[in-house]
Structure 1
Amino acid sequence: MTKPPTEIAKLPRLGLGLGLRNTHFDHILTTWPEVDWFEAISENFMDSGGRPRQVIRKVAERYPVVLHGVSLSIGSSDPLNMDYLQRLKHLAQEVQPQWISDHLCWTGVMGLNSHDLLPVPLTEATLDHIAARVHRVQEVLGRPLILENPSTYLNFRENTLSEPEFLRALCDRTDCGLLLDVNNVFVSCFNAESDPVDYFDSFPWARVVQMHLAGHTDCGSHLIDTHDQPVRPEVWALFALAWQRSNGASTLLEWDGNIPTFEVCHGELLKAKAYMNGGFSSLTGAPAPVAETRAVSNPVSFLVPDVMAGAVELEKG
């Protein structure tokens, strides 16, 4: 059983947020839009003394800000990059983020950065290795680390734990928090031919601080997490379940490629309201509970897009 959350339980519910992207800097600084909060990619700001740093300081004066990293490489066999951690800590001291997050992955080895979020074997040995590193990161930063489930495209043969089991054990050992990426769950489960509701059933929801929504690319036999298009209907439907189980965790829309105008991104984010507070508690639009609507031959076939019609109608009203 997961231990009662400590510092994690004190973190706020921020509402609906957007990524702080440079293509939207001018719009944000001139209009100060009605967005609940912003998430900044740590690496885009921690090494800049120019405009990006000025922008994040100004944004942090008006909105809650979260730092989200892509280079911590918590699963690597390389020693932790202490220079990176000190620069991240300095940025955090400057903008006072609500929390700092990164990914359950490794990004490089032997000093080289792959600039990709690579999966780790889900074994007891990996758990021991990463838990020790999480302890050290939290010690340096002086705050709990929030870790995100990555998108995966294969499973290691040596896996002895499911991803939810691994994350639960990691939280128990380190008191870290979790960033649940709903799109990543859908992508990973589709690629592994597994059931995302089964994934949710064993997930440590008490540790979820934040959720991500994003678009992916359907390649037929597999899905790729691309963040370059609107959220798919099946992911919105899965979010309806995640919202209930997370008790309304802070939710953010990611859009990192082919980025449209701020208004388009904001409009996509606001679709989430149609799936919150039980508005679409059933993925089929029928009164049956979501968790009882299971697939037989297709592990994700229960996620039907019919709810999107209701979402569009709600937006027009």
Structure 2
Amino acid sequence: MSDSRRSAAVNSPGSPRRSPPGAAGLAGTSFKHAHLAAILEDGLQDGFFEVHAENYMGAGGPPHRALAAIRERYPISLHGVCMSIGGPDALDVRHLARFRELVERYEPTLVSEHLAWSSHGGTFFNDLLPLPYTKATLDKVCEHIDQVQEAIGRLILLENPSTYVAFASSTMSEPDFIRTVAQRTGCGLLLDVNNVFVSAVNHGYSARAYLAEFPLGYVGEIHLAGYSEQHDDENALLLIDSHDRAIADPVWDLYRHVVARIGPIPTLIEWDSDLPAWPELRAQALAARRIASEHETPPVEDTGHEV
């Protein structure tokens, strides 16, 4: 990215990344077309709505008319699912071009993608697959993020994953890996609190200890969601990041812990299947706003040393 374009898109690498001016107190939900009429009738003051970019990569039609109606009234967050930031292959340039077109068309307040790989050999997968945290993976992730930010002319927020397996080949912790990515590329972070809790339970570590290592000063958006419970082959509890129910009490507790440390951050309720009626989803967003409003922004947390 040229110096002039980088200045417009991000600050110098290594400095904290937070939400855009005026966005800190926003609380929102995933946008589902089934809720459009209810949202337009009984909206969400100081709210925002997030959409998956891949659902809007066609030229027009009903999806774009619905999103345009929302965009006229609210800020939006554009959340990518299939960029495969962590994949070993080169980014799909056609997909990236369509992503750029959506950014230009809707001018979202927030743009984000996952720390995961989701494609191989031209095939896209339904799952967001985990990565080994090694130098080779780090270099590839940074290369891809630089390419995306160069293409869209602005920073993206990188989301921490929910994981069900870990790689023996990893040479650094997930928080250290994510911190280094943010420092090297200038990107921000999307902290998915539900993902933190799900991964902590699945791998047997403390979610609060994870957050103590996480570079919270780079966080520009927070996700909250519901999880489901299963059991693995050894009958051990396995949590699934299912986005199909209300937020569980332990996730709310972690959210309180985070905002007590860094203050209000744009917070989104993810609910993607088994949708409730709009008033229930709206109530979850308002609950997040009430929690965030209890905390004024304290000094930015330490983001770690330059690399």
TM-score by length of 2: 0.86
Question: Is 2:265 the partner of 1:249?
Answer: yes
Q: Using the alignment, how far apart are the partners of 2:120 and 2:144 within structure 1?
A: 15
Amino acid at match of 1:243: V
Tell me how far 1:134 sits from its aligned partner. Answer: 0.7
CA pair 136-202 structure 1, distance change in 2 beyond 3 A: same
Tell me how far 1:33 sits from its aligned partner. Answer: 4.2
CA pair 163-271 structure 1, distance change in 2 beyond 3 A: same
User: What is the aligned counterpart of 1:134 among 135, 145, 153?
Assistant: 145
Structure showing greater relative contact order (alpha-carbon pairs closer than 8 Å, 6 or more residues apart): 2
Instruction: Please list, as runs of the form range in 1=range in 2, the aligned pairs for 1:52-63 lying within 5 A after superposition.
Output: 52-63=63-74
Match of residue 260 from structure 1: 276
Tell me how far 1:14 sits from its aligned partner. Answer: 4.5
| 8 Å CA contact 1:240, 1:278 repeated in 2 | no
The alignment's C-alpha RMSD in Å is: 1.7
Match of residue 209 from structure 1: 220
User: What is the aligned counterpart of 1:81 among 92, 105, 109?
Assistant: 92
Tell me how far 1:243 sits from its aligned partner. Answer: 1.4
Match of residue 292 from structure 2: 276
User: What is the aligned counterpart of 2:241 among 206, 225, 232?
Assistant: 225
TM-score by length of 1: 0.83
Tell me how far 1:275 sits from its aligned partner. Answer: 3.2
Q: Using the alignment, how far apart are the partners of 1:159 and 1:246 within structure 2?
A: 29
Task: Mark the runs of 5 or more structure 2 residues left unpaired by the alignment.
Answer: 1-12, 232-236, 296-307
Tell me how far 1:46 sits from its aligned partner. Answer: 2.3
Tell me how far 1:269 sits from its aligned partner. Answer: 2.1
Query: Taking every aligned residue pair, what percent have the same amino acid on both sides?
Result: 38
Match of residue 239 from structure 1: 255
Instruction: Please list, as runs of the form range in 1=range in 2, the aligned pairs for 1:19-38 lying within 5 A after superposition.
Output: 19-34=30-45, 36-38=47-49
CA pair 14-46 structure 1, distance change in 2 beyond 3 A: farther
DSSP-derived class of the 1:219 partner: strand
Amino acid at match of 1:247: G
Task: Mark the runs of 5 or more structure 1 residues left unpaired by the alignment.
Answer: 280-317
Match of residue 287 from structure 1: none
| 8 Å CA contact 2:19, 2:219 repeated in 1 | no
DSSP-derived class of the 2:49 partner: strand
| 8 Å CA contact 2:25, 2:292 repeated in 1 | no
| 8 Å CA contact 2:265, 2:292 repeated in 1 | no
CA pair 48-14 structure 1, distance change in 2 beyond 3 A: farther
Q: Using the alignment, how far apart are the partners of 2:46 and 2:279 within structure 1?
A: 11
Q: Using the alignment, how far apart are the partners of 2:293 and 2:102 within structure 1?
A: 35
Match of residue 124 from structure 2: 113
Q: Using the alignment, how far apart are the partners of 2:261 and 2:134 within structure 1?
A: 26
Match of residue 14 from structure 2: 3
Q: Using the alignment, how far apart are the partners of 2:24 and 2:39 within structure 1?
A: 22
User: What is the aligned counterpart of 1:93 among 99, 104, 109?
Assistant: 104
Amino acid at match of 2:33: N
Tell me how far 1:172 sits from its aligned partner. Answer: 0.6
DSSP-derived class of the 1:180 partner: strand
CA pair 9-240 structure 1, distance change in 2 beyond 3 A: closer
Tell me how far 1:57 sits from its aligned partner. Answer: 1.5
Amino acid at match of 2:251: V
Q: Using the alignment, how far apart are the partners of 1:270 and 1:185 within structure 2?
A: 22
User: What is the aligned counterpart of 1:193 among 186, 204, 212?
Assistant: 204
Instruction: Please list, as runs of the form range in 1=range in 2, the aligned pairs for 1:290-305 lying within 5 A after superposition.
Output: none
Instruction: Give the aligned length.
Output: 277
